[in-house]
Amino acid sequence: MDIDDDIKSLCGNPSAQRRAQLRIEAARDAWLGSSDVVRFLDELAAYGAGAAFDRGPCLPEVAIRLASARHLFEPLTDALMEALREEPLAQVPFRHQKNAGTSILQLATRGRAALVLLAYDPSIANGNTETATFSDVERHEIVLGGAADLELATIAREWPDRAAIDRHPRRVVAGDALHLAPNQARMVRTIHGRLVLLRIARTPPVPGPSRVFRLGDGRLLHRASGDRVESQRELAMALLGRMGRTDAAPALAAQSRSGSDHLRWQAIRECLALDTATGFDALLRIARDAEDTLATPAQALRAHLVETYPELAAKESEPCPV
pLDDT in tens, 77-114: 999 999 999 888 888 899 999 887 899 999 999 999 99
Cα distance between residue 69 and residue 10, in whole Å: 36
The more confident residue out of 312 and 107 is 107
The more confident residue out of 304 and 314 is 304
Predicted confidence band of residue 209 (pLDDT cuts 50, 70, 90): confident
End-to-end CA distance of the chain: 61
Beta strands in 204-243 (DSSP E): 210-214, 220-224
Q: What is the mean pLDDT of residues 224-248?
A: 87
pLDDT in tens, 239-267: 999 999 999 999 999 999 988 888 899 99
Predicted confidence band of residue 322 (pLDDT cuts 50, 70, 90): very low
The whole model's pTM is what? 0.78
Question: Residue 12 above 70 pLDDT?
Answer: no
How far is the CA of 175 from the CAs of 102, 147, 149, 150, 315, in angstroms? Answer: 20, 10, 15, 15, 64
